[in-house]
C-alpha cells in the first residue's frame, strides 16, 4: 500500500517539525497539518518565517522548501481527515489536573476527541498513527472508539513514538538513531506497518527503522524517557554529594562517562530537568505501575521526579542561604527561562520553580531569555500558582515581583545575584568584568548549568557557585 496523502492532527512542537520533514523528504506525499488553534495555523502560514510558532534550528528552511508545494497548514480538520490515507495524532497529552489520576495520569481527552472526529468523518479505510506519547494500551482504546463510532470502515492503529529532542528536532528527524513502529501482528496490521516503513525509507536506512508489536512500542517511549531522566537525576543526586565532599561533578561525570558501558551523554548536572516529556512520562509510568499493583516499581521511578524537585529546591535554597538568609527586596537576575537552550519552550522549566521559591522569600526576579516573551514567563508562573490554589490577589502581588527585559544589561545592572537557568551560548560571551562593576557587592553568580568559567569569574571578583562544585 502506497501512502499519498497524510494528515496530522496537532501543529505543535512534535506535529509541526515532524510533518515538515516528512513533506520535504517525500515530495510525492501531500502532507496537511491541522490544528484547532487558528492563531497557530496562521503563524505556520506566515510569509515571514521568523513568525513560525516554534523556534527550532533549521525548521524555517525546511518549511520554506515544502510549504505550498506538498506541505499545508489548515484549520479544516474534517477535509484533511477525509482526504488522508494515514492520520497522525500529535495533540497534547498533558498530565491530568483534575479527578481520577490527577497529577499523575495522562489526560487523553484530546486524543479521544481526535478518534471520535476521525470515526465520524472517515469514509474509507485509514491508518491511524499515535505520535503523542500515550499510556500503554491506548491503541486499544483508540481502536475501540474508532470501530464503535465509525462508518464501518477499517482502521489500523500504529504506534510511532517521537524521540526528537527540542532544539535539535530537525537534525534528530533527518538522522534519527531509530524510528520505532509498533503495530498489530495481523495481516492488515503488517500492511499498515509496511506502509509507514515505506514513508520513512525515503530518507532512513532499514537498520534505522525498528518494528515491534504495538504495546512494546508504546512502552518503549515511556521507558526511553524514564532512563534518560534517571541519568540526570542520578548525576544531580551526586552533585549534592560533590558539594559536600569537594569532588567536582563534571570531573566525576567525565570519569564515569569514559567507561563505554556508561557512555558520556546525559550526564550534565544541572538545576534540574524540564520539558514537556520527562516528568509527564515518568508520572504516567508510575501511574501505570500502581494500576497494575506494582508499588515497588512505581516508587523506584517516582524517585527520579522526587530527586529532580529536590535539585530545583536545593538551587533556590542555596541562593537564599548564601545571600545572608534572605532575598527579600533583593534583585535577582535570571539568565534564561527556557527549559534548555535553542528553544522557546518553557514547559516544566526549572526556572519557573526556582523563581517561585525566591519570590515567596520576597525577591524581585528580573528575567532575560533570548527567545521567551514576557507574557509567556508571567503565564508560566500564573499557571503554577493557580494550580496550587493561590488567590487572585496574591498572584497579582507576586507577579509585581517579576520583571522581564529584552536587554540583558538591564537585568544585570544593580543586581545582588545572577542565576543561570538555561545554558544559552550567548551567556558565556558576555563582558563579565563590566557586569561585575555594575552589581552590588559581594556579587554572586549561581551557575545552574555549569557553563561559565569558574576560575575567570572568581578572578574578576565574583562569589561563584556552580552545581556540584565547591
Among residues 221, 268, 331, 341, the one annotated as catalytic is: 221
DSSP string, 233-267: HHHHHHHHHHHHHT--HHHHHHHHHTSTTT-STT-
In total, the chain counts a number of residues equal to 470
203 or 266: CB nearest ligand UDX: 266
Let me know: does 334 contact 358? Beta carbons within 8 Å.
no
Known active-site residue 7: no
If binding is defined by CB under 6 A, does position 232 make contact with ligand UDX?
yes
277 is catalytic: yes
Question: CB-wise, 181 or 443, nearer to ligand UDX?
Answer: 181
Of the candidates 304, 289, 429, which has an alpha carbon nearest to the alpha carbon of residue 370?
429
Answer for which of 20, 32, 95, 132 binds ligand UDX (CB under 6 A) is: 132
User: Cell numbers 506541505 label which residue?
Assistant: 71
Asked if 239 touches ligand UDX (CB under 6 A), the answer is no
Number of residues this chain uses to bind ligand UDX (CB under 6 A): 39
Using CB under 6 A, which residues numbered 384 to 443 contact ligand UDX?
none
171 burial class (0-12, 13-18, 19+ CB within 10 angstroms)?
middle
Which residue of the chain is nearest ligand UDX when measured via CB? 12
105 phi, psi to nearest 5 deg: -75, 160
Q: Which of 107, 130, 156, 162 binds ligand UDX (CB under 6 A)?
A: 162
Site string for ligand UDX, 350-379 (x = CB under 6 A): ------------------------------
Nearest 5°: the CA angle 418, 419, 424 is 110
Q: Which is nearer to ligand UDX, 26 or 164 (CB)?
A: 164
- Cα 452 → chain centroid: 24
Q: Is 221 in the active site?
A: yes
Between 374-387 and 392-399, two packed helices, what is the crossing angle to 10 degrees?
140
Indicate whether 218 belongs to the interface with ligand UDX (CB under 6 A).
no
The only residue of 276, 284, 308, 450 in contact with ligand UDX, by rule CB under 6 A: 276
Least distance in angstroms from the C-beta of 42 to ligand UDX: 12
Cis peptide leading into residue 143 (ω within 30°): no
**Binding-site ranges for ligand UDX (CB under 6 A):** 9-15, 35-37, 40, 90-93, 110, 113, 132-133, 162-166, 225, 228, 232, 266-268, 270, 273-278, 339-340
List the catalytic residues: 162, 221, 277
Amino acid at each position: 500500500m502506497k501512502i499519498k496523502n497524510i494528515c496530522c492532527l496537532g501543529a505543535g512542537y512534535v506535529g509541526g517539525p515532524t510533518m515538515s520533514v516528512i513533506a520535504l523528504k517525500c515530495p510525492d506525499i501531500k502532507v496537511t497539518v491541522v490544528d484547532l488553534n487558528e492563531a497557530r495555523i496562521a503563524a505556520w502560514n506566515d510569509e515571514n518565517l521568523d513568525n513560525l510558532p516554534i523556534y527550532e534550528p533549521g525548521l524555517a528552511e525546511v518549511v520554506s522548501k515544502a510549504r505550498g508545494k506538498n506541505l499545508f497548514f489548515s484549520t479544516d480538520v474534517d477535509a484533511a481527515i477525509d482526504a488522508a490515507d494515514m492520520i497522525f495524532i500529535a495533540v497534547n497529552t498533558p498530565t491530568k489536573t483534575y479527578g481520577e489520576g490527577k497529577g499523575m495520569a495522562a489526560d487523553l481527552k484530546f486524543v479521544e476527541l481526535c478518534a471520535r472526529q476521525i470515526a465520524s468523518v472517515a469514509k474509507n479505510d485509514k491508518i491511524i498513527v499515535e505520535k503523542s506519547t500515550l499510556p500503554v494500551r491506548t491503541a486499544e482504546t483508540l481502536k475501540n472508539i474508532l470501530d464503535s463510532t465509525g462508518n464501518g470502515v477499517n482502521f489500523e492503529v500504529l504506534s510511532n513514538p517521537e524521540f526528537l529532542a527540542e532544539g535539535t528536532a530537525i537534525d534528530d528527524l533527518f538522522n534519527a538513531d531509530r524510528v520505532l513502529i509498533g503495530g498489530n501482528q495481523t495481516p492488515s496490521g503488517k500492511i499498515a506497518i509496511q506502509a509507514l516503513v515505506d514513508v520513512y525509507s525515503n530518507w532512513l536506512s532499514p537498520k534505522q527503522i525498528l518494528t515491534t508489536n504495538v504495546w512494546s512500542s508504546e512502552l518503549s517511549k515511556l521507558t526511553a524517557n524514564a532512563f534518560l531522566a534517571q541519568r540526570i537525576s542520578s548525576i544531580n543526586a551526586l552533585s549534592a554529594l560533590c558539594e559536600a565532599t569537594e569532588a567536582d561533578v563534571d570531573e566525576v561525570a567525565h570519569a564515569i562517562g569514559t567507561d563505554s558501558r556508561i557512555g558520556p551523554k546525559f550526564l550534565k548536572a544541572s538545576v534540574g530537568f524540564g520539558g514537556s516529556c520527562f516528568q509527564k512520562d515518568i508520572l504516567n509510568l508510575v501511574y501505570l505501575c500502581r494500576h497494575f499493583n506494582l508499588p515497588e516499581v512505581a516508587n523506584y521511578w517516582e524517585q527520579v521526579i522526587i530527586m529532580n524537585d529536590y535539585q530545583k529546591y536545593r538551587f533556590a535554597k542555596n541562593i537564599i542561604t548564601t545571600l545572608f538568609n534572605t532575598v527579600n527586596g533583593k534583585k535577582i537576575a535570571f539568565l534564561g527561562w527556557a527549559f534548555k537552550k535553542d528553544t522557546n519552550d518553557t514547559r516544566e522549566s526549572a526556572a519557573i520553580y526556582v523563581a517561585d521559591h525566591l519570590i515567596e522569600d520576597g525577591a524581585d526576579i528580573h528575567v532575560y531569555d533570548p527567545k521567551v516573551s514576557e507574557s509567556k514567563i508571567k503565564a508560566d508562573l500564573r499557571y503554577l500558582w493557580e494550580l496550587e490554589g493561590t488567590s487572585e490577589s496574591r498572584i497579582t502581588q507576586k507577579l509585581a515581583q517579576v520583571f522581564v527585559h529584552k536587554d540583558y544589561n538591564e537585568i544585570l545592572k544593580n543586581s545582588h545575584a545572577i542565576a543561570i537557568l538555561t545554558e544559552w551560548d550567548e551567556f558565556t560571551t558576555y563582558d563579565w568584568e563590566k557586569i561585575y562593576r555594575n552589581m552590588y557587592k559581594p556579587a554572586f553568580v549561581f551557575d545552574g548549568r555549569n557553563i561559565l568559567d569558574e576560575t575567570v569569574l572568581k578572578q574578576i571578583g565574583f562569589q561563584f557557585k556552580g552545581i556540584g562544585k565547591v
